[in-house]
Amino acid sequence: MLSTRATGFSQTWRLRATVLVAGLAAVLLVWLASTTRPWLGVEHKVFDFFTAVTATRQVDVPVVILAIDEPTFQELQLQWPFPRRLHAQLLDRLRADGALAAGFDMVFAEPSNADDDAALAKALKAGLPVVLAASREKTESVNASQWTEVLPLDSFLGGRAVAGQVRVTPDDDFVVRRHTRHEDAFSARLAAFAASPQRNAALDTGTFLIEYLGPRATFDTRSYYQALEPGLLPSGFFKDKIVLIGRSVRTAVELTGSQSDMFNSPFSVIDGADRLIPGVEVQANLISNQLTGGGLKPVEPALGLALVVAMLAVLGLVGMRAHPSVTAILAASLAVGVWLLSYGLFAAHKRWLEPLFPVASVAAVYGSAMLLNYVASRRRALQIRTMFSQYVPKEVVARLVERPDLLKLGGEARELTLMFTDLANFTAMSERLTAEATVEVLTEYFNAMTSIIHRYGGTVDKFIGDAVMAFWGAPLHDPQHAEHAVRAAIDMQIAMQELAVRLTERGLPTIAMRIGVHTGRVVVGNIGSQSRFSYSVIGDAVNLASRLEGANKAFGTGILVSEATAALLPADIVLRLLDRVIVKGKSASIAVYTPCADAGLVSLSAVAVESFYRQQWDASEAAFNSLLQRRPQDGAALRFLDRTAGMRVKPAGLAAVEPLSLDKL
C-alpha cells in the first residue's frame, strides 16, 4: 500500500512538473510573439477600440481650427502654396478679434515673393503670440542616416513669434498614438500661451499616449477662407482662443505631395468615422491633453509582469486541484478580468495596460495544461475502453470515455436488474464434439446473446462455462433497466430458437436456453485486488437471479422473472404468474412470472395460483385443468395439480400452503 501511494504521489508531482515546464514554455512563446509586428498591430487596434469607446467627443479647451480645405481652394481660386500676404491678413484678423495665440501647422522654410514675405513678417511682429511649425527631416545615405532641422525663415521669428516642432511618429498602420512632450514642441508652446503660470509650471514632459477627444471635426473647425472674407464669421469670434491653421485636404491635386500630413484615425475601428485625420487636428488633441492633464501613461512593465505571474500562479494552484470545468471557468474569468482591468485603467485612470499579453499568457498556460490533460485523458480512455469494450455496448464505452467520472472505482450500492442464462442439454452436445468445435458453437452462441444484451444497454459481467451473467443499470444509470433486461431476454430466446435450428441442421442435439431475471440492490464496481480486478456485481440479488435461471426446469419455462422486476415493467410486457417461491435463508416468498402473449392463459394462471394459495382446491383444479386444455403438458400446471392432490389428503388444520422452495428444485 505504501509503495502504491508513493508511486501515485510521484506520478502526480511528475505531471505537475510537466505542466509547469509546459506553461513556462508557452509563456515564453507568447512573449516572443508579442515582439512581432502582427502582435503589435493587434495591440494597437485594442488601444484604438478603447479610445473610440471612451472618447468624450467634447472639447473643453479654447481651440479653433482653420482648415485649408477643398471649399477654401474653391473660394480663393488659388494654387498651393498660398501667397503669404493672405496669412498676414489672417493674423491681422485674429489680433483684431483678441485671439489668444495662433499656430501655423506649415513650415515657412523657403523665401517666396519678397512683398508677401515682408507682409507676413510684419504681421508676425505685431504682438499676437504665434508658433510657426518646424520639422526634422531624415536623410538616408549608404553610410548613415542624418537628421536635419527644418526651421522657419529667421525673418519670421522674433518678438512673440517662435518655432515649434510639429513632427509626430505614426505607427505602422499610420495612426499617431504616441507623442513625446518637450518644451520646444509645437503643441507645448501653444499650450504654454494658454495656460496660467501655475499650470504652465506643472506641464508634464515625457512620452505619452494621445488621448483623442473624438473623431475628425470634433474640434470647432472652420474653413480658412471664412476668416479672410468679412461677414462670414462674426466679429470677436476668435477672442481668447488658440487658432490652429493647417491643411485638411483629401482630394485637391494641389496637395498631392502633402498627403503625409494626413493620418489614419483610431476611430475608424468601430464607428465608421472618416479614416483620415489631418495633422493639425492631431496637434489640437495634443494641446488639449497638455492643458487638461490628459494623455495616457503606459503601465510600468514590472507591474504588468507581476500581474501575469499572479494570474498564472492562481490558475496553476486551482488547476492542480479543481475539475477541468472549474479551471476553464477560472481561466475565462481571468481573461475577462484582464480586459475589464485594462479598460478600467484606461477610462478612469488614464493608464494603458496592454491586455493581449496577459490574456494570451493565461490562454497559453491553460491550453498547454489542457493538452497535457488531454494526453493523460486519452491514456485513461484507452484503459477504460480496453476494460469495458468486452462487456458493454460501444455507446456505453464512448460515454464512459467522455465522462470517466461516471465510473466510480471501488464499488457503489445501486439497484440493478440481473440476468443469468444457461444452456440445457449442452453437456450431451459437447460430448459429441471436439474441443475446437465446442468452442466454435459457444462462440456463435455468445456472439448472438452478447449483441442482444448490448443492444438493450446491458453489461456482460462474465461467461461461466456455457452460462452468461449480465446486468442493466451500470456503469451508466438506466431508469428502464428492468424493462430493457426483460425485452433482451425475450429477444434472446427468439435468437436461441434460430440458433438451435441451425445446430440441428448440422446434426447436433437440440439445445435450449434458460434465463433468470431479478431486480435488486447490489454492490457494483471494480472488484478484486490491486493487481487484478474486474467490473462486476455482488449481493443477494445476484444469487436469486442465478436461482431463478435454474428454477425454469421446474416450471418448464425459458424465462423466469421475479416480482421485483415485474413491478417495474410497462403494461405492454404481459407476464404470466407461475407461483410463489422462497429462497433458503429468507422468510418471505416472492412471486415469479414468465412472459406470455396468451391473455387467456395469463388470466387462467392467475386465478389458479391465487385459488391454490387461498386453499380453494376445487376452483384451483378447475382453473389448472382449463389451462392444460389450452396448453397440454404445462409444467407449472401439472406441478400444482400434484401439490393440490397432496394437500387434499392432509388432515384438516394441517393443510398449510407453503411456497415452493427453490433450494429443493
Does residue 183 surpass a pLDDT of 80?
Answer: yes
Band (38; pLDDT cuts 50, 70, 90): confident
DSSP H or E run through 532: none
Please check whether residue 15 is in contact with residue 376, taking contact to mean a CB–CB distance below 8 angstroms.
yes
**How far, in Å, CA of 645 to CA of 651, rounded?**
13
Query: Which range has highest mean pLDDT (85-94, 431-440, 644-653)?
Result: 85-94
| One-letter amino acid for residue 87 of the chain | H
pLDDT tens readout for residues 453-495: 999 999 998 999 899 999 999 888 999 999 999 999 999 999 9
pTM over 0.85: no
Is the pLDDT confidence value at 394 over 90?
no
Which has the higher per-residue pLDDT, 381 or 435? Answer: 435
Q: Are 327 and 369 in contact (CB under 8 A)?
A: yes
Chain position carrying cell 504521489: 9
Report which of residues 406 and 24 the model is more confident about: 24
- Give percent of the chain with pLDDT exceeding 90: 44
Question: Which tens digit of pLDDT belongs to each residue from 552-604?
Answer: 998 989 999 999 999 999 999 999 999 999 877 677 889 999 999 999 999 99
Stretch 287-316: mean pLDDT? 85
Round to whole Å and give the CA distance between 6 and 444. Answer: 46
Cβ atoms of 318 and 373 closer than 8 Å:
no
In this predicted model, what pLDDT tens digit does every residue of 605-630 receive, in sequence order?
A: 999 999 999 999 999 999 999 999 99
Residue whose C-alpha cell reads 496577459 in the numeric block: 358
| DSSP string for residues in 604-644 | HHHHHHHHHHTT-HHHHHHHHHHHHHHSTT-HHHHHHHHHH
Helix%, strand%, coil% for the chain, nearest 5: 50, 20, 30
Q: How far apart are CA 289 and CA 296, in angstroms?
A: 9
Average pLDDT across the chain, whole number:
84
pLDDT attached to residue 250: 66
Q: What is the pLDDT of residue 526?
A: 75
Residue 660 burial (10 A CB sphere; 0-12, 13-18, 19+)? buried
| Short-list 380, 411, 371, CA closest to 534 | 411
What's the gap between Cα 483 and its chain centre? 38
- The arithmetic mean of pLDDT across residues 23-37, rounded, is 77
Boundaries of every domain in the chain: 2-33+299-382, 60-178+215-287, 409-566, 570-665
Rounded CA separation 560/627 (Å): 19
> What's the average model confidence in pLDDT over 228-243?
92
For the beta carbon of residue 596, count every other beta carbon within 10 angstroms.
18
* Residue 657: strand, helix, or coil: coil
| Selection from 495, 490, 548, 494 nearest residue 519 by Cα | 548
Residue 662 or 230, more confident = 230
Give the per-residue pLDDT at 655: 57
Return the SS3 of 652: coil
How far, in Å, CA of 620 to CA of 628, rounded?
Answer: 12
pLDDT of res. 535:
76
CA distance 457 to 302: 59
Q: Which residues contact 473 (CB under 8 A, 6 or more apart)?
A: 414, 415, 416, 417, 481
Q: State which amino acid sits at residue 60.
A: D
For the 409-566 domain, the top CATH level (class) is alpha beta
C-alpha 97/C-alpha 245 separation (Å) is: 16
- Nine cell digits for residue 179: 507623442
Q: For residue 556, what is its C-alpha cell?
A: 418448464
Question: Could you tell me the pLDDT band of residue 5, with boundaries at 50, 70 and 90?
Answer: very low
Pairwise CA distance, residues 236 & 242, whole Å = 13
Encode pLDDT of 496-555 as tens digits.
Answer: 999 999 988 888 888 899 999 999 999 988 776 655 667 789 999 999 999 999 999 989
Sign of the alpha-carbon torsion through 46, 48, 49, 54:
positive
